Amino acid sequence: MKATLRVRRFDPDSDTPEAHFQEYDLDVEDSATVLDGLIKVREEVDGTLTLRCSCRSAICGSCAMRINGQAGLACNTKISDAVPRGGGPITIEPAGNMQIIKDLVVDFQPFWDKVRAVEPWLQPEGPEPETEYVAPNDAMLHEAGVMACIMCGACVSDCTVLAVDSNFLGPAALAKAYRLVVDPRDDAEASRLARLDEYGGVWDCTRCMECVEVCPKGVAPMDRIMALRDKAMERGHTGTYGARHADAFADSIKHSGWLDELKLPIKTFGLFNIPKILGLVPVGIRAQLAGKRPPIFHKSIPGVQGIRRIFDRMESRR
């Protein structure tokens, strides 16, 4: 079949390093994936096209990118499925919420730092048993659903909170934290939940479901985050600024489709918690530098009806 890939290019070494789109017309087999197409480009047409990929079978997690505006793996997206209805090119952009290094290659360092931050290793107490730990297979099967995460970052790319608040640990790191919290062999549940209760942790998710939708491995990060919240509540981690932060966050987006960052810290910490609010100043400055200055007059964005519908739908589901 014939298809056109419209790829967002960026080369920091060029004399005029500006992002732009470049189109490649390809003739590929009907079963070809978007990754097959991109590899064909880089091997036969344009050797400068740069992307990460390795396994070609959705297991190494290298090839997450935005395909027609939504994050996914290039290697398990068929070209025939990605051609927009009515024809036209398939638009391919680097994963979102991460800095672009070159073409489709983004900087994963913050992603890995957050994974590191949840102390993602088993922390058992007491002496190791002689042979294996005895653990129910059901618990292991349940955990396998999260272990299936390939750290591709598709969820992080499209997470609506990370788009505005880079402090959020994000869906992938939190899913990883969940696996350790539920592991019957791990004895650090209390300290793990206490940490996840803090700013940037489980309460910052707005339950937008993007991560569930884009995850190629069925990990359902949002569901894991909700389960962590339940566990945190069970341990009495309620009424913290974390919980309020989430509600404020959701309110704001539901109300106007925007995240009202100016109002958010106030709602979260209470109007008189001046030191805490001041503590957030660097976030504001960083947002400003990134061109993400919160709009002072909080207006609704055009699609707000749709966003409200999503919220209603979700609330009716719970």
| Residues of span 188-247 touching other proteins by CB under 8 A | none
Residues at the site binding ligand SF4, with contacts judged by CB under 6 A: 149-155, 159-161, 171-172, 175, 205-211, 214-217, 219, 221-222, 225
Q: At its nearest, how many Å lie between ligand FES and the CB of residue 62?
A: 5
x/- track of binding to other proteins for residues 160-199 (CB under 8 A) = -----------------------x-x--------------
- Spatial separation of the C-alpha atoms in residues 166 and 163, rounded to whole Å: 7
Shortest distance in whole angstroms from residue 235 CB to other proteins: 22
| Contact with other proteins (CB under 8 A) among 28, 59, 227, 283 | 59
Residue (of 130, 116, 87, 100) closest to 10 by Cα position: 100
Instruction: Please tell me whether residue 19 binds other proteins under the rule CB under 8 A.
Output: no
- The single residue listed with the structure tokens 């079949």 is 1
132 binding other proteins? (CB under 8 A): yes
Among 6, 42, 255, 267, binds other proteins (CB under 8 A): 42
At what angle are helices 221-234 and 189-196 packed, to 10 degrees?
Answer: 110
Residue ranges that bind ligand FES, judged by CB under 6 A: 35, 53-56, 58-63, 73, 75
Are 63 and 53 spatial neighbours (Cβ–Cβ below 8 Å)? Answer: yes
303/300 Cα distance (integer angstroms): 8
- For 7-40, give one letter per residue: b (16+ CB within 10 A) or e: bbbbeeeeeeeeeeeeebebebeeebbbbbbbbb
Largest CA distance in the chain: 64
- C-beta neighbour count of 304 within 10 angstroms: 16
Please state the closest distance from residue 89 (CB atom) to other proteins, in A. 22
Contact between 240 and 247 under an 8 Å Cβ cutoff? The reply is: no
Could you tell me which residues are beta bridge partners of residue 67? 70, 92
Select the binding partner of residue 5 from ligand SF4, ligand FES, other proteins, none (C-beta < 5 to 8 A, by kind).
none
Residue 191 interacting entry, from other proteins, ligand SF4, ligand FES, none, C-beta within 5 to 8 Å by type: none
The verdict on 296 binding other proteins (CB under 8 A) reads no
User: What count of Cα atoms within 13 Å lies in the side-chain half-sphere of residue 110?
Assistant: 16
By CB under 8 A, the residues from 83 to 122 that bind other proteins are 101-102, 105, 108, 112, 116, 119-122
Distance CA 190, CA 272 (A): 30
Interacting residues toward other proteins by CB under 8 A: 11-14, 29, 31, 33, 39, 42-44, 46-48, 50-62, 76, 78, 101-102, 105, 108, 112, 116, 119-122, 124, 128, 131-137, 140-141, 143-144, 147-148, 150-151, 183, 185
